Structure 1
Amino acid sequence: MPFKLAIIGAGSVGFTRKLCADILSVPEFEGIEIALTDISPQNLDMIARILRRTVEVSGLKTRITATTDRRRALEGAKYIMNTVRIGGVEAFETDISIPLKYGVDQCVGDTICAGGIMYGQRGIAAMLDFCRDIREVCPPDHLLLNYANPMAMMTWAAIEHGGVNTVGLCHGVQNGHRQIAAALGVPMDEVDIVCSGINHQTWYIDIRHKGRKIGRDELLAAFEAHPLFSRQEKVRIDVLRRFGFYSTESNGHLSEYLPWYRKRREEIPDWISTDDWIHGETGGYLRHTRESRNWFETEYPTMLKEAERPLSEWKRTDEHASHILEALETGRPYRGHFNVRNGGTITNLPADCIVESPGWVDRFGINMVEGVTLPLACAATCQASVDVQRMAVRAAVTGDVDLLKLAVLHDPLVGAVCTPAEVWAMVDEMLAAQAQWLPQYASRPGRGRAAAH
């Protein structure tokens, strides 16, 4: 069943290789075309060589093309994947360093908070360009699979303002599912879950082991007794204790979405573990990214050598993309958790926001389970983020500096730390530092500045 898949941001060598190996593991897909596009010719050449070797070794008919001309790569593509990070490490550094000057301490900075909101401003400006090309050169039944963060904002912009059929994909639910099984001391395939909310703030509202429901007290006891999780996941465990439900994201992620755990610098060490960045280290993901940004260059010969192994030896991952395409093209059903426009999926979140919740995929498309009602505390934390996301998306689309500042002002952690005047000054500083990636604000560099004083 031939079709064309285009990958925007394919220069993310390791991730692109994993996604493509998963897709090429589907027997019916051996005759597809995979069109790679990226702004880095060097990275593009590296991933193209890996995939071509994989195809050759496995005797597939797959066609691998690579070009820096995005529109050319997109032409005729039924499926598109977006994995970009606009501004790279250079912009990311200012997402973390400038807010830190104002007391906003972030571990990751890619979802909400000051860094995530500015990351969204850069990403949405590019996303709208991607969507214009997709509308113009892709077939009408196209589907955009967005892997880029901030997931909810990018997907929201693509659907509402880009006019492109889009689903957002993340592996947070799978990782949390895996961790819950480990805490309980049972195989993952024996644990079934229903997880619902918004991306990176999704809640395991139903957990069953071989059909038996796992309640808060049993899950809490399992995490508190675990030798690693008990010290690495202090925020998540505290939220589980108080809310009654476990959250998908890592300790470092969750701690910066809430107003309670990172607002006093001297108390942050009480809630984090520094044995790995993901557990809450200040600027932890930035440090990790800096240290690993060129790993694929030093490890490239090894990766190229590994590409000589036939795909029959590849263990397919639980990333959603290949399973969705397989279900759509073959009719074999797939159950997962997807980021889509809410509609009636979650009853106590706004209809226009992007939710992450269970759904099924088959030849008829992606079909969400409707009528989920979140527990009140879970819904409240999601709602606070949704309000920030809505303002941030609209600001990114319109170039409205005042609305951007209001979005940052209403962010839970920023609001717990900063005064309004500090927020206005912080956003002005970030706009100046990131101007080269923010074309929508180019004509309004000073709007709203006077209100800070």
Structure 2
Amino acid sequence: KAILDRTVEANRLPTRVTATTDRRKALEGARYVISCVRVGGLEAYADDIRIPLKYGIDQCVGDTICAGGILYGQRNIPVILDFCKDIREVAETNVKFLNYANPMAMNTWAAIEYGKVDTVGLCHGVQHGAEQIAEVLGAKSTQELDYVCSGINHQTWFIDLRLNGRPIGKDELVAAFEAHPVYSRQEKLRIDVLKRFGVYSTESNGHLSEYLPWYRKRPDEITRWIDMSDWIHGETGGYLRYSTETRNWFETEYPQFLEAASKPIDREKRSNEHASHILEALETNRVYRGHFNVKNNGVITNLPHDAIIESPGFVDRFGINMAAGITLPEACAATCIASINVQRMSVHAAISGDIDLLKLAVLHDPLVGAVSTPEEVWQMVDEMVVAQAAWLPQYAHAIPAARERLSTSKVKTREWAGAARRSVRSIEELRAEKAALKQAG
């Protein structure tokens, strides 16, 4: 709150910021609710990465599907539904729930289907992918690009791409990425998928590697396709390390954040995050085009109707209106459907507390299935729910039996750091890095 107060004061905004730990009080009369929740914090997240590694499952992020993302959803969904209950009871009648929390599709699915709240999921992967494409094609900005991205969150595809009105085909885009001095090294996996699928994925090299069972199932293959210049390109547990370092940096260097908040905002450098643009469009009728996570209902013709898709839409005072009738390339649809099936089972497991259904969801995950046997998956899920029992109230009835099974299990595990793990850096190391970057740039 202190940071927001500084921003309001520095920019003389007609805004009042309040803070409370009473959720119902915060939601009273709300017209818009934005969620950025991570249930279990970094403690539970560490288990999302650590425990699957014992069974050979190497994740870069682990927050969407795969073993880590599925368990993350089990922790988040009950809390999301608590939010929705309060929203229904005390917020405005036509409240809009804007979900930024991962696993995006699962959270949004639960809020719409079971929470019965008007919900849209928001992510920035499309914008970042467009920035890369603009750079490799030599565009001055993304304003020169006209593109349609469609699919599901973190598996969205640039199915139509034009530069100043000129269509850009696969061969031209491949050549542009392979000629780029940085992306040719950092995005090897994405470029390979582009060559094979014919379209570019919006998702980062490391994250994309988790959803496709071909690139991350053997240690030698992992090191072949990733790049260690930054966590996002495939480092084992990379986002956990980055999040831990960022948390530590914020807590230690908090005065720097307060100082930065005291500077006037440059209105010409508005963020491309969707939320403020959506609110502006709904309140002022200024039309905004973006890519939103909503229930499919036929918008994408070759994905299931109940799935949460990410696709183009327009916002004005009448709401969010999706561009319907989109058909994905068959390979893209097949990849998305594999994840959708996992998401559906995961949501149903989180709602019902059915540990057997949870195990089946994890078993059907593409990367898990490429690495682990059914016996290993059953034990891994038992181990994860026992470790995270404090955040899994819907599985309380199943925890004693899971503990008993673990005490007699003969499935072998190993202590493995992963194919490309780095240690969390100290504050001193982070300071030295930032100083070096400032001197170089």
Q: TM > 0.5 between the two?
A: yes
CA shift for structure 1 position 446: 5.2
Which of residues 384, 394, 412 in structure 2 aligns to 1:440?
394
Matched residues in 2 for 1:93 and 1:349: separation?
Answer: 33
CA change 1:313–1:358 in 2 (3 A) is: closer
Deviations 1:394-421 (A, max 9, x none): 0001101000000000000000001100
Matches within 5 A, 1:165-314: 165-187=118-140, 188-311=142-265
Say yes or no: does 1:147 pair with 2:100: yes
Which of residues 53, 59, 80 in structure 1 aligns to 2:6?
53
1:161 partner amino acid? Y
Matched residues in 1 for 2:267 and 2:163: separation?
Answer: 30
Which of residues 300, 322, 327 in structure 1 aligns to 2:276?
322
Matched residues in 2 for 1:354 and 1:231: separation?
Answer: 32
Matched residues in 1 for 2:54 and 2:16: separation?
Answer: 49
Matches within 5 A, 1:56-67: 56-67=9-20
Matched residues in 2 for 1:442 and 1:279: separation?
Answer: 37
Say yes or no: does 1:402 pair with 2:356: yes
1:184 partner amino acid? L
Which of residues 100, 121, 144 in structure 1 aligns to 2:74?
121
CA change 1:447–1:383 in 2 (3 A) is: farther
2:15 partner amino acid? T
CA shift for structure 1 position 312: 5.0
1:164 — aligned with what?
A: 117
Matched residues in 2 for 1:379 and 1:83: separation?
Answer: 28
CA change 1:157–1:119 in 2 (3 A) is: same
1:66 partner amino acid? A
CA shift for structure 1 position 234: 1.1
Matched residues in 2 for 1:337 and 1:280: separation?
Answer: 25
1:302 partner amino acid? Q
Say yes or no: does 1:138 pair with 2:91: yes
| Contact kept? 1:395, 1:404, Cα under 8 Å | yes
Which of residues 350, 375, 383 in structure 1 aligns to 2:329?
375
CA shift for structure 1 position 77: 0.6
CA shift for structure 1 position 310: 2.8
CA change 1:450–1:49 in 2 (3 A) is: closer
Matches within 5 A, 1:409-420: 409-420=363-374
Out of 391-400 and 177-186, give the one that drifted further: 177-186
1:267 partner amino acid? E
Partner SS for 1:111: coil
Matched residues in 2 for 1:308 and 1:417: separation?
Answer: 50
Partner SS for 1:68: coil
CA shift for structure 1 position 63: 1.2
Matched residues in 1 for 2:314 and 2:272: separation?
Answer: 15
CA shift for structure 1 position 71: 1.1
CA change 1:351–1:446 in 2 (3 A) is: farther
| Contact kept? 1:402, 1:447, Cα under 8 Å | no
Matched residues in 2 for 1:261 and 1:311: separation?
Answer: 42
CA shift for structure 1 position 182: 1.0
| Contact kept? 1:102, 1:426, Cα under 8 Å | yes
| Contact kept? 1:326, 1:332, Cα under 8 Å | yes
Partner SS for 1:396: helix
2:305 — aligned with what?
A: 351
1:43 — aligned with what?
A: none
1:442 partner amino acid? A
CA shift for structure 1 position 447: 5.9
Name structure 2 gaps, 5 residues minimum: 411-441
Percent identical: 70
1:160 partner amino acid? E
Matched residues in 2 for 1:297 and 1:429: separation?
Answer: 31
1:20 — aligned with what?
A: none
Out of 437-446 and 197-206, give the one that drifted further: 437-446
Partner SS for 2:176: helix
Say yes or no: does 1:109 pair with 2:62: yes
CA shift for structure 1 position 358: 0.1
Q: Identify which of structures 1 and 2 has the higher relative contact order when contacts are C-alpha pairs closer than 8 Å and 6+ apart.
A: 2
2:177 partner amino acid? F
CA shift for structure 1 position 364: 0.3
1:154 partner amino acid? N
Matched residues in 1 for 2:104 and 2:53: separation?
Answer: 23
1:110 partner amino acid? D
CA change 1:447–1:166 in 2 (3 A) is: farther
CA shift for structure 1 position 309: 2.2
Please give the TM-score of this superposition, normalised by the length of structure 1: 0.87
1:294 partner amino acid? N
CA shift for structure 1 position 286: 1.1
Partner SS for 2:314: strand
Please give the TM-score of this superposition, normalised by the length of structure 2: 0.90
Partner SS for 1:357: strand
Matched residues in 2 for 1:55 and 1:232: separation?
Answer: 39
Name structure 1 gaps, 5 residues minimum: 1-47
Which of residues 350, 363, 366 in structure 1 aligns to 2:320?
366
CA shift for structure 1 position 314: 6.7
2:135 partner amino acid? A
2:418 — aligned with what?
A: none
CA shift for structure 1 position 131: 0.7
2:121 partner amino acid? G
Out of 196-205 and 83-92, give the one that drifted further: 83-92
Which of residues 74, 82, 85 in structure 1 aligns to 2:27?
74
2:426 — aligned with what?
A: none
2:438 — aligned with what?
A: none
Deviations 1:75-134 (A, max 9, x none): 111100000111111001000010011000100000000000000000101101111111
